Amino acid sequence: MKDLNEVISELSQSSNKIERRRPRRTSRSITSGGKRSRERTLSPQERLQRFETAVQQQVVSLPADTKHIRMIPLGGLGEVGRNMMALEYGDDIMVIDAGLRFPEEDMPGIDFIIPNTKYLEERVDRIRGIVFTHGHYDHIGALPYVVEKLGYPPLYASPLTRGILLKRQEEFKTSKKVDITDVRDGDSVKLGAFTVNFFHVNHNIPDDLALYIETPMGYIIHTSDFKFDPDPVNDKPADLNYIKELGDKGVLLLMSDSTDAEEEGTSISERTILENLETIFKESDKKIVAATFGSLLNRVQQLIMLAEKYGRKVIVEGYTMTTNLEIAKELGYVRLPKGLLVPAKDISKYKPEEILIICTGAQGERNAALMRIANKEHRFIRLDKGDSIIFSSSVIPGNERSVQMLKDALFRQNVKVYHYKMMDIHAGGHAKRADLRKMIELTRPKFFLPVHGQFSMLVNHSWLAQEMGVPEENIVVAENGQVLNLNKEEFFITKETVPANYVMVDGLGVGDVGQIVLRDRQMMAQDGMFVVITAVDSRSGKVRGNPDIISRGFVYLRESQELLKDVRKMVRRIVEESTSYEAVDWAYVKNNIRDDLGQFLFQKTKRRPMVLPVIIEV
């Protein structure tokens, strides 16, 4: 059995081989598009032609602003996820991230929500590039849906983030192949008026890069999602001295992660998580099933290390986790010894104490691996008395009920369940208040903008910045769609707004499900649907036969004969009264049926189904 420290030492040596970090003084500079190029100045005739085209498209094209940097949050403010920020100076626009978020409970049928990029679509010729901070879907997931609309701008990402993006892009058909330039800690990229310098910070996925942006007005720091971990596993700590050096140069604006701004203390070190997970491995004499997020690769690496030490074979279940693990292994970010990984179909070849299953589904997702295992729906994996189930993740707000149902299903099978409230087996990837104070202390910004979080998180982060000495008038708490102006002397929200509403993805449809469709789905989900089909004589206006009725999710027809009898009488009366004129307006007839019948059904049942009248002229 290998000593755990030996395994960690081998992993660190492996990581150093692929790191290829350059000294900051000799960092490479990459121009927009991934190669050296010079921006061409547009002629007056070309500028006039561009303006005329904008007018024809009914786009208001304001003169280029060189007195301020315009900052336009298209997502990520007042919400967790859907992160996207545009910075604009003169004729140059750079974009930070393009993420998605998952639907809320009142959005039936919606797969994802992405930012509204209409503002950028109208200015595609001015987009100098999109930079991605790390590989979580709330920062990269919208790219396949927007890259074509944005004119395939130059894209920049760290190796792991690039690998995840390219793998995801394979699932989408676009007219042009996406090209992503590889950037690393210490690299810089020239994007028009902006020079973006990348530096390493810790998160719960490798290759997380914060941004130090040189602008004509001063230096801007974007922290990415981050936390300070002095003793990480499968990673190196952030260089605090370097961040302090940036602060010494003078930081005009700090944009800082706010997700855990309401949580006191510091984030738990991944080393502590590893030690607690090892305790479970020592005590377990049966199967171990560890559920976590598909993108939490540092945690997956910890579990693989423990499986190697304690002589367990590893089964990985879950499409996202399997895909990310393959990418990370190819790039050298995850060390997976040969022969350690086995397919689920071979589980019967090993004793229970020789198996570790790493899977997705810790949030109680219906079709995820852990839920299928708990419901005995998995083809090969069955739980036995005494097995250990590890929830190595926190519960995302809104998922509490589904997670509790999952736990109940597991406990009914007499297994041991471990979760983060019992012991420290999960640490979030976001800085808590002590780390947020440290970031402000190191950078000492003149202006401050909290990003990435619900509105309450942004406000609490702004209060914390005031505690750290940033004047209240120098702090802006903004919302998506507002336009912010920044220069050396002032930072404020303008009266201008841009579209930043939800764009909903449903299957292959992007943006075709709006509020009206969503409202109809909510209504049907809540009170059902009631369809009345009536055949009407086109000459006499009389109803022929009895109206047919279809009910879905409202009442069971066989048990509601009296109600249906009353409905048929009412429909017959409404139609014949509404067609007593020579010229019949059938839209008017259907509206009368919908309104009167809806009111009648509410009086009888106190429910409001969607009433759909259908009239057939015969």
* Residue among 33, 58, 76 nearest 222 (CA): 76
Among 292, 278, 287, smallest CA distance to 344 is for 287
Question: Which of 69, 127, 140 is closest to 95 using CA atoms?
Answer: 127
User: Alpha carbon of 597 to those of 11, 484, 540, 607, 612: distances in Å?
Assistant: 70, 50, 23, 12, 10
> What's the pLDDT score for residue 92?
96
Active site residues: 257, 430
Tokens at residue 292, please? 């976590």
- Three-state helix/strand/coil letters over 571-597: HHHHHHHHCCCCCCCHHHHHHHHHHHH
Average pLDDT, the chain: 84
Written as six digits, the tokens of 380 are 């090969």
**Phi and psi dihedrals of 493, rounded to 5?**
-90, 125
Q: What is the pLDDT of residue 108?
A: 56
So what's the pLDDT on residue 428?
A: 79
pLDDT of residue 28: 54
| Phi, psi angle pair for 276, to nearest 5° | -70, -40
Helices assigned H by DSSP within 429-495: 433-443, 455-467
Q: pLDDT for 229-273, tens place per residue?
A: 988 887 899 999 999 999 999 999 999 999 999 999 988 888 888
Instruction: Give pLDDT, residue 37.
Output: 41
pLDDT of residue 15: 44
Assign residue 186 a region (left: φ > 0; alpha: ψ between -120 and 50; beta: otherwise): left
Taking CA atoms, 32 is separated from 38, 190, 196, 468, in Å, by 9, 6, 11, 37
Please give the DSSP secondary-structure letter assigned to residue 393: S
CA dihedral 61, 62, 65, 67 (to 10 degrees): -170
Question: How far apart, in whole angstroms, are the C-alpha atoms of residue 269 and residue 19?
Answer: 22
CA distances from 128 to 59, 155, 199, 217 (A): 20, 9, 20, 18
Exposure of 116 in the CB half-sphere (CA atoms within 13 A) = 16
Q: What domains lie within the chain, and their CATH numbers?
A: 4-265+428-509 (3.60.15.10), 270-418 (3.40.50.10710), 528-617 (3.10.20.580)
Looking at residue 400, its pLDDT comes to 78
Q: What global pTM score does this model have?
A: 0.76
Contact 291, 360 (CB under 8 A): yes
Are 56 and 46 a contacting pair, CB within 8 Å?
Answer: no
Q: What is the dihedral of CA 56, 62, 66, 70, to 10 degrees?
A: -110
Residues β-bridged to residue 96: 85, 131
Nearest-angstrom CA–CA distance, 139 and 162 = 12
Pick out the chain residues at pLDDT < 50: 1, 7-8, 11-12, 14-27, 35-40, 44, 47-48, 51-62
Return the pLDDT at 17: 41
Length of the chain: 618
Residue 163 is encoded by which pair of tokens? 């690998």
Question: What pLDDT score was predicted for residue 43?
Answer: 52
Q: What does the H/E/C string look like for 41-103? A: CCCHHHHHHHHHHHHHCCCCCCCCCCCCEEEEEEECECECCCCEEEEEECCEEEEECCCCECC
* Tens digits of residue pLDDT in 93-138: 999 999 998 776 655 566 788 999 999 999 999 999 999 999 999 9
